[in-house]
């Protein structure tokens, strides 16, 4: 596929932009934050997004989805990034749906996927146990108990963990912490006795939670995918999460960059527009180049998933590392170039920087992905 | 059989019959065919290959037939390139005439000039050089001072040019000269063609930090230039100069994009790091160097994908983007970083200057590293490219 959006994808992008700018401008995000909204997202809006086919955007039509694929999801997420839209797109439409699509048996798919597509169910992946992304450093334990399992352990930074209807828990069923083998994914209802969920308030005002599992009894059919073979589902799901999250980050980057360029053209100091200073021009032009490369990488990575290319892992690390770096650069420069007003809460530009750092830390920071890329490329 | 398939079949047959065996082997630098009045052909097949290709206009396949070109359309041109690639044929002619001057003549020259100069370029009879930069006009190219005075029936050229690639081998020069000293600097420049053998023209090679000397300084002392050797409108040469630069940047951008992703073989930083600094379990032993190399390679890949995206966007009918300055800037900076990484990976083995204690490729890398420093200076510095992006793309105020 050529590295351009096709006609349907362009229409989707235009529709997504119009809808999101209208229904959920940054003011909407501020309202959720300032009212300490219990859900942390707009449930009514999520149902509308589901009605547009976005909750089931990667889900095939046979399970009630709209089957637009990852390029479609990326297009919507990019537009969502422009207004910092807080929604279950990442936790549920992306991660939850892709995990069930890859790991689910016929019964699980039939039960869960249509409920995701209608916007009725929210999912959350309970993976991390430490403050930095480490997908195999799992000590949460699921031990055989009769026909089922008993689950014990603690999870952190579970996106949308406090509102989820189903948790997907990564637990160790054999081998030792750090091993890729011996992981198993479990579907856990948050209301199960022994599950304790505590919402964490993050700098980007998005939803996350810490979750404790104490002697949680699980039936045998709670397993998603193969026992001890959870990484075979987890790895591709994480790659999809890295790539699609990169698309959201791209939207944030482009919006904050455009706002900054506009500011350089209107703000006067020393009797001239500050955009006439070469010290700022060159930094703006350098950002432009990094953003152009980021646009290419995100699109190619999304296409790689849809085309089932065998370089999806490389593209995922390439995209996430590049978007981490570019978002870091642009968010810092945007703030600096806005000067004092950028430091105020009233002004939006700081919101993008807070989102930047949380997004950077999600599913692997730059060092994680450079290391992984080098390994994948054989050095 | 479609017309294009027919063309492919005929081309293949012709190339099989006409491409001499030695022209199907990789050339070294010395064997590059630049043509010209004083060309020396150590291998007679080089000249034979040039003449045969020129007879079909295939040294400039896309130029119109009436000017000696091949008259091929885009699709045919692509087929020809594929067929040349298939038999690993050498380029029959390397020529600033074809790469730079020709496209400018096609756009700006008079009919008579096109009929005179273009066929000579196609046949490789005249080797051209470019007279742009001056000792006092580098990044500020439009500030050039070499002047051409109107003497009635001719122009009298006085001044000096610098960084003229292969000026000492060139037969003719395409040269920017000041023809109106009183006009604003962009409005008093003209585009002249003249013979380097004319009385008063001389060159001096410039030795670079790498030890090589591919550039010259050229001097003009009362050089007489006939008036019909002015291209385009008097005092409007800057328009031609800009078009030519744009063309040149596109060419370099293309080279930077596709051909030097992470570097391959002996020029690959990851391979060099393993070989010179050691490896542990298949990984580069030094973890910091390893991540630096990964960063570089990832950026190169992103750059390559961007080149592909621009090509695809053009194919899909989007207007040409701001690509050329971005590619020039990013591609040349990447190339410099690649060589710095090679130096880091190879340590003192990449710092040898001459002698038998170093391998040939090691000595070459030392010189190439020094040469790359010019990448971000020549043809518009990195700073100039950033200025162009800020002005033409981001529309930041002056």
Query: A372, B297 in Cβ contact below 8 A?
Result: no
Angle at B65 between CA B64 and CA B68, to 5 degrees: 100
> Which spans in A278-345 are helix H?
278-306, 312-338
pLDDT tens figures, B114-160: 999 999 999 999 999 999 999 999 989 999 999 999 999 999 999 99
The span from the CA of B384 to the CA of B378, in Å, is 10
A358 interface with B at CB cutoff 8 Å:
no
Give burial (CB, 10 Å; 0-12/13-18/19+) of B318.
exposed
Locate B118 and state its tokens.
Answer: 């273009």
Distant-in-sequence, close-in-space partners of B17: CB < 8 Å, separation ≥ 6 = none
Residue A75 CB coordination number (10 Å): 28
Residue A99: CB partners within 8 Å, gap ≥ 6? A123, A125, A168, A185, A224, A233, A237
Nearest-Cα residue of chain B relative to residue A294: B302
Q: B160 with B217: CB under 8 angstroms?
A: yes
Nearest residue on chain A to B391, alpha-carbon basis: A281
* Tokens 């009514």 found at: A44
Q: Which residues of A are less than 8 Å from B385 in CB distance?
A: 285
Query: CA B381 to CA B374: how far, in whole Å?
Result: 9
Question: Which whole number is the average pLDDT over B261-279?
Answer: 85
At A173, give phi and psi (nearest 5°). Answer: -110, -15
Average pLDDT for B343-350: 96
Nearest-CA distance from B63 to chain A in Å? Answer: 29
Which pLDDT score, from 0 to 100, does residue B213 have? 87
pLDDT at residue B51, as a whole number: 97
pLDDT of B258 above 60: no
Flag whether pLDDT at B256 surpasses 70. no
User: Mapping DSSP to helix (H, G, I), strand (E, B) and coil, where does residue B6 land?
Assistant: helix
Chains A–B, number of C-beta pairs less than 8 Å apart: 123
A340–chain B nearest CA distance, Å: 21
pLDDT at position B19: 96
CB A359 within 8 A of CB A244: no
pLDDT in tens, B192-209: 999 999 999 999 999 999
Query: Of B99, B115, B93, which Cα lies nearest the Cα of B48?
Result: B93
Give, to the nearest 10 degrees, the angle between helix A278-306 and helix A231-264.
150
When CB atoms are compared, the residue of B271, B283, B298 closest to A322 is: B298
Taking each helix axis from N to C end, the angle separating B360-372 and B323-346, rounded to the nearest 10 degrees, works out to 140
Mean pLDDT of the region B155-181: 96
Helices and strands: H and E segment counts in chain A: 11, 10
Of the candidates A2, A284, A373, which has its C-beta nearest B315's C-beta?
Answer: A2
Give chain A's mean pLDDT: 97
d(CA A214, CA A193): 8
Beta bridge partners of A170: A185
pLDDT of B255 higher than 50: no
Report DSSP letters for B313-341, one per residue. Answer: HHHTTPPP-SHHHHHHHHHHHHHHHHHHH
Give the burial string for A268-289 (b: 16+ CB within 10 Å, else e): eeeeebbbbbeebbbbbbbbbb
Chain centroid offset of residue B148 CA:
27
Q: How confident is the model at residue B245 (pLDDT cuts 50, 70, 90)?
A: confident
Asked if the Cβ–Cβ distance from B386 to A373 is below 8 Å, we say: no
pLDDT tens profile B365-378:
999 999 999 999 98
pLDDT beneath 70: ranges in chain A: none
Helix then strand then coil, in percent of chain A rounded to 5, is 55, 15, 30
pLDDT above 90: residue B316: no
- CA separation for the pair B390, B267 (Å, rounded): 33
Q: What is the pLDDT confidence band of residue B322, given thresholds at 50, 70 and 90?
A: low
Mean pLDDT of the B343-361 span: 96
**Interface mutation vs chain A, best among B333, B389, B395, most A CBs within 10 Å:** B389
Give chain A's length: 379
Tokens at A157, concatenated: 């930074």
| Chain A residues whose beta carbon lies within 8 Å of the beta carbon of residue B329 | 285, 289
- What pLDDT band is residue B264 in, cutting at 50, 70 and 90? low
Per the rule left: phi > 0, alpha: psi between -120 and 50, beta: everything else, A104 is beta
Nearest to A285 among B282, B291, B386 (CB): B386
Across the interface, whether the CB atoms of B396 and A371 are under 8 A apart is answered no
Distances (CA, A) of A303 to A48, A68, A296: 27, 12, 11
- What torsion do the CA atoms of A110, A116, A121, A123 make, to the nearest 10 degrees? 100
B153 CB burial (10 A radius; 0-12, 13-18, 19+): exposed
Q: DSSP code of B236? A: B
Q: Which residue of B has its CA nearest to A373?
A: B294
* Contact A373/B at CB under 8 A: yes
- pLDDT value of residue B251: 64
Q: Which residue of A has its CA nearest to B315?
A: A2
A3 → closest Cβ in B301, B309, B398: B309
Residue B254 has pLDDT above 70, yes or no: no
Cα A280 to Cα A5: distance, rounded to the nearest angstrom: 32
Burial letters for A304-324: b for 16+ Cβ neighbours within 10 Å, e otherwise?
bbbeeeeebbbbbbbbbbbbb
Query: In chain A, which residues have their Cβ closer than 8 Å to the Cβ of B274?
Result: 379
Q: For residues A127 and A188, what is the distance between their CA atoms, to the nearest angstrom?
A: 13
According to DSSP, the β-strands at A166-172 and A183-188 are antiparallel
SS3 B70: coil
* Nearest-neighbour CA in chain A from B331: distance (Å): 11
A285 — contact with chain B (CB < 8 Å)? yes
Spatial distance between the Cα atoms of B295 and B318, rounded to a whole number of angstroms: 31
| Nearest CB to B306; choose among A276, A280, A296 | A296
Out of B283, B290, B313, whose CB is closest to A4? Answer: B313
Residue B87: strand, helix, or coil: coil
Beta pairing class for A148-159 and A141-145: antiparallel
Q: Residue A137: how many CB atoms within 10 A of its CB?
A: 14
Q: Determine the residue among B291, B394, B398 to mutate to test chain A binding: the one whose Cβ has the most chain A Cβ atoms within 10 Å.
A: B394
**How many Cα atoms occupy the beta-carbon half-sphere of B55 within 13 Å?**
10
Q: How far is residue A57's CA from residue A96's CA, in Å, rounded to a whole number?
A: 12
A265 burial (CB, 10 Å; 0-12 / 13-18 / 19+) is middle
Q: Which of B101, B365, B132 is nearest to B238 (CA)?
A: B132
Residue in chain B nearest A278 by alpha carbon: B387
**Cβ separation A318–B301 shorter than 8 A:** yes
Q: Please tell me the distance from the alpha carbon of residue A322 to that of residue B347, in angstroms, as a whole number.
A: 28
Name the interface residues of B facing A (CB cutoff 8 Å). 270-271, 273-274, 279, 282-284, 290-291, 293-295, 297-299, 301-303, 305-306, 308-309, 312-313, 315-316, 318, 326, 329-330, 383, 385-387, 389-390, 393-398
Contact A265 B397 (CB under 8 A): yes
Distance CA B32, CA B43 (A): 11
Q: Which two tokens stand for residue A299?
A: 């699109």
Q: What one-character DSSP code corresponds to residue B393?
A: I
B326 vs chain A: nearest CA distance in angstroms? Answer: 6
């Amino acid at each position: 596929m050529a590295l351009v959006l096709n006609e349907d994808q362009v229409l989707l992008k235009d529709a997504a932009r119009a809808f999101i700018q209208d229904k959920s401008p940054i003011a909407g995000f501020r309202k959720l934050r300032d009212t300490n909204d219990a859900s942390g997202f707009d449930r009514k809006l999520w149902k509308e997004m589901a009605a547009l086919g976005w909750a089931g955007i990667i889900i095939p039509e046979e399970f009630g989805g709209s089957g637009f694929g990852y390029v479609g999801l990326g297009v919507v997420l990019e537009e969502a990034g422009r207004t910092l839209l807080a929604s279950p797109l990442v936790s549920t439409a992306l991660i939850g749906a892709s995990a069930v699509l890859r790991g689910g048996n016929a019964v699980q798919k039939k039960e869960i996927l249509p409920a995701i597509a209608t916007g009725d169910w929210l999912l959350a992946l309970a993976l991390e146990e430490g403050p930095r992304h480490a997908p195999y450093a799992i000590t949460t334990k699921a031990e055989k108990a009769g026909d089922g399992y008993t689950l014990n352990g603690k999870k952190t930074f579970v996106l949308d963990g406090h509102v989820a209807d189903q948790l997907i828990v990564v637990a160790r069923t054999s081998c030792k912490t750090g091993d890729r083998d011996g992981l198993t994914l479990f579907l856990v209802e948050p209301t199960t006795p022994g599950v304790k969920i505590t919402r964490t308030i993050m700098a980007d005002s998005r939803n996350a939670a810490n979750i404790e599992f104490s002697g949680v009894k699980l039936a045998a059919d709670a397993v998603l995918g193969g026992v001890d073979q959870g990484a075979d589902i987890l790895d591709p799901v994480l790659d999809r999460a890295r790539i699609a999250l990169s698309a959201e980050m791209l939207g944030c980057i482009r919006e904050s960059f455009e706002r900054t360029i506009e500011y350089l053209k209107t703000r006067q100091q020393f009797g001239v527009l500050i955009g006439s200073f070469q010290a700022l021009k060159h930094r703006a032009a350098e950002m432009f180049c990094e953003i152009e490369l980021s646009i290419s990488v995100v699109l190619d990575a999304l296409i790689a998933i849809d085309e089932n290319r065998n370089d999806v892992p490389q593209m995922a690390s390439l995209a996430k590392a590049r978007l981490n770096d570019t978002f870091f650069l642009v968010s810092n420069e945007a703030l600096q170039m806005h000067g004092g007003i950028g430091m105020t809460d009233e002004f939006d530009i700081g919101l993008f920087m807070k989102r930047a750092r949380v997004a950077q830390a999600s599913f692997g920071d730059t060092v994680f992905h450079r290391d992984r890329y080098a390994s994948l490329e054989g050095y | 059989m479609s017309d294009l398939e027919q063309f492919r079949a005929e081309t293949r047959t012709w190339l099989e019959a006409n491409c001499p065996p030695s022209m199907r082997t990789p050339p070294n630098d010395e064997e590059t065919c630049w043509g010209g009045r004083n060309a020396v052909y150590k291998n007679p097949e080089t000249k034979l290959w040039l003449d045969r290709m020129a007879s079909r206009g295939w040294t400039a396949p896309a130029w119109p037939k009436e000017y000696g070109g091949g008259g091929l359309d885009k699709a045919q041109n692509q087929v020809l390139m594929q067929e040349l690639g298939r038999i690993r044929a050498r380029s029959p002619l390397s020529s600033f005439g074809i790469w730079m001057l020709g496209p400018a003549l096609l756009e700006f020259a008079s009919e008579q000039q096109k009929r005179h100069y273009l066929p000579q370029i196609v046949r490789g009879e005249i080797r051209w050089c470019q007279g742009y930069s001056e000792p006092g006009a580098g990044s500020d190219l439009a500030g050039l001072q070499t002047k051409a005075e109107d003497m009635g029936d001719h122009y009298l050229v006085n001044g000096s040019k610098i960084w003229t690639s292969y000026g000492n081998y060139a037969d003719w020069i395409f040269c920017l000269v000041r023809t109106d000293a009183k006009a604003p600097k962009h409005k008093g420049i003209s585009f002249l063609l003249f013979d380097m053998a004319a009385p008063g023209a001389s060159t001096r090679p410039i030795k670079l930090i790498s030890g090589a000397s591919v550039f010259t300084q050229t001097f003009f002392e009362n050089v007489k230039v006939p008036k019909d050797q002015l291209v385009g409108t008097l005092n409007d040469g800057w328009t031609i100069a800009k078009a030519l630069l744009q063309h040149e940047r596109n060419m370099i951008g293309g080279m930077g994009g596709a051909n030097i992703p992470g570097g391959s073989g002996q020029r690959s930083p990851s391979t060099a790091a393993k070989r010179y600094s050691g490896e542990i379990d298949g990984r580069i032993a030094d973890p910091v160097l390893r991540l630096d190399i990964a960063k570089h390679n990832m950026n190169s890949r992103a750059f390559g994908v961007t080149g592909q995206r621009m090509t695809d966007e053009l194919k899909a009918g989007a207007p040409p983007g701001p690509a050329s300055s971005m590619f020039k800037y990013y591609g040349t900076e990447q190339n410099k970083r690649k060589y710095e990484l090679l130096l880091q990976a190879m340590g003192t083995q990449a710092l040898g200057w001459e002698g038998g204690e170093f391998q040939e490729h090691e000595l070459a890398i030392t010189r190439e590293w020094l040469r790359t420093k010019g990448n971000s200076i020549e043809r518009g510095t990195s700073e100039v490219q950033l200025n162009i992006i800020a002005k033409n793309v981001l529309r930041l105020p002056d």
